[in-house]
């Protein structure tokens, strides 16, 4: 069920007309639905429970790290998957219990390790031998012992965009699964570390369970081998990666994914950790933008909008397509024509869609880009010294601005002239 639908000739977010939000917050603006976040989380967690799994769902903050979004999920029982000290601060500030936080990522610094150990997080996912050695050194210096997983690279092709695949040998993530036994032995001998978990994550926006099942089967084989040689493996971290429908085909239902997990690792009596991000946040958010000009060129028709690639980078970075719709509903017999939806940044790459089939558009009209709740605002910037986009959370017939638009004067305040400049 979508929580963004037409009523009385206008697109609503839950029970709030989008024109009302645009008037209050300005445009462009990201709008998130509390009901959509809640439904996605409960469907995911419920599917794991129905499959008989002892699951811990740790929401991946990299998808959308607004603290109001994190708080919504924390109130439902979600943990957090973080990849930086800043994300750890956000998770804790939003109310996620420290023991429900997993620290992933290939470049953890010593300061981030100390910060995480002091907070008492639940698990570190180790991605290299130098990281393993440094974490041991830091933990011992703090008289601490921490749970770790070795993130193994199973050399499984996720069959997804090359920039978001993480499970092939040529990717920077994880350690070769064939080296895992020697790495667990090293972790056991170093001190300060409890090697009690195995981790894997093969990529993002997967639309088939087949790569998942292949990767999880390799993890299951490793867990059997480790247990047979005396390791107390009591957690299995399967990462995230389940895709969403951007309009080019629906991924498998989460129940099918849960059954694949149950078939491969369901018999180990382990806590199974999941780190969904896009699946939860993606469909729960939209980007609202306003048409600045409707430009009729010789061979193209352009809708130049006030959102730009600095607000939503996915089309420029990943060739992603977000379904675009007018906020004002048209009659069914309205003429439909091709539009290129473009932003004002001085790059041809600042294009959201080409040949987008829409009715006649006018300056001042509001448009919506769907499924923008993940890797949208969280990747935004102030390129071209444009204002940093605002974010709004809707709950029923109420809404709140949960990140104010940051105008150039705000970030100019962080810059200064050199001492020799007058």
Q: Which residues carry out catalysis?
A: 346
User: Phi/psi of residue 201, each to 5°?
Assistant: -155, 120
CA 115 to CA 270: how far, in whole Å?
27
CA 283 to CA 372: how far, in whole Å?
7
Structure tokens at 306: 């006030």
Which residues lie closer than 8 Å to 390 by C-beta, 6 or more apart? 25, 26, 28, 29, 30, 401, 403, 404, 405
Which residues lie closer than 8 Å to 257 by C-beta, 6 or more apart? 47, 209, 212, 242
Contact by Cβ (8 Å): 254, 242: yes
Structure tokens at 206: 């997967």
DSSP calls for 359-394: E---TT-EEEESS-SSSSGGG---GGGPPBPEEEEE
Backbone region of residue 316 per phi and psi (left: phi > 0; alpha: psi in -120 to 50; beta: other values): alpha
Helix/strand/coil percent split, the chain, to 5: 30, 25, 40
CA 190 to CA 397: how far, in whole Å?
55
CA 197 to CA 185: how far, in whole Å?
13
CA 199 to CA 275: how far, in whole Å?
11
Four-CA torsion 190, 194, 195, 196, nearest 10 degrees: 170
Numbers of helices and strands, H then E, in the chain = 12, 21
């Amino acid at each position: 069920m979508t929580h963004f639908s037409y009523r009385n000739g206008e697109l609503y977010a839950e029970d709030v007309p989008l024109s009302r939000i645009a008037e209050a917050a300005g445009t462009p603006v990201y709008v998130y639905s509390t009901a959509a976040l809640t439904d996605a989380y409960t469907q995911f967690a419920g599917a794991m429970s129905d499959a008989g799994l002892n699951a811990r769902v740790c929401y991946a903050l990299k998808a959308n790290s607004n603290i109001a979004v994190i708080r919504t999920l924390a109130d439902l029982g979600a943990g957090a998957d973080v990849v930086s000290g800043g994300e750890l601060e956000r998770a804790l500030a939003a109310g996620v219990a420290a023991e429900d936080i997993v620290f992933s990522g290939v470049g953890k610094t010593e300061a981030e390790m100390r910060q995480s150990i002091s907070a008492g997080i639940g698990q570190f996912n180790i991605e290299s031998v130098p990281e393993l050695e440094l974490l041991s050194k830091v933990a011992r210096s703090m008289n601490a012992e921490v749970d770790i997983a070795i993130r193994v690279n199973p050399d499984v092709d996720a069959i997804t965009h090359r920039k978001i695949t993480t499970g092939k040998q040529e990717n920077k993530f994880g350690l070769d699964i064939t080296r895992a036994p020697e790495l667990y032995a090293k972790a056991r001998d170093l001190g300060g570390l409890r090697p009690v978990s195995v981790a894997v994550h093969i990529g993002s926006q997967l639309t088939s369970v087949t790569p998942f099942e292949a990767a999880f089967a390799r993890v299951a084989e490793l867990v059997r081998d480790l247990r047979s040689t005396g390791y107390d493996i009591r957690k299995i971290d399967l990462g995230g990666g389940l895709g969403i429908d951007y309009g080019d085909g629906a991924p498998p239902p989460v129940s099918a994914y849960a059954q694949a997990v149950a078939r491969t690792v369901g018999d180990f009596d382990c806590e199974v950790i999941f780190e969904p991000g896009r699946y939860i946040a993606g469909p729960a958010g939209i980007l609202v933008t306003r048409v600045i000009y409707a430009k009729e060129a010789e061979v193209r028709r352009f809708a130049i909008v006030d959102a730009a690639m600095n607000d939503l980078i996915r089309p420029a970075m990943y060739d992603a397509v977000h379904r675009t719709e007018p906020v004002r509903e048209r009659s069914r017999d309205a003429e439909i024509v091709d539009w290129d939806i473009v932003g004002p940044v001085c790059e041809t790459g600042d294009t959201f869609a080409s040949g987008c089939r829409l009715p006649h558009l006018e300056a001042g009209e509001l448009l919506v880009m769907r499924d923008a709740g993940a890797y949208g605002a969280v990747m935004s910037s102030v390129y071209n010294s444009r204002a940093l986009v605002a974010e709004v959370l809707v709950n029923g017939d109420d809404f709140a601005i949960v990140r104010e638009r940051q105008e150039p004067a705000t970030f100019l305040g962080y810059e200064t002239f050199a001492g020799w400049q007058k």
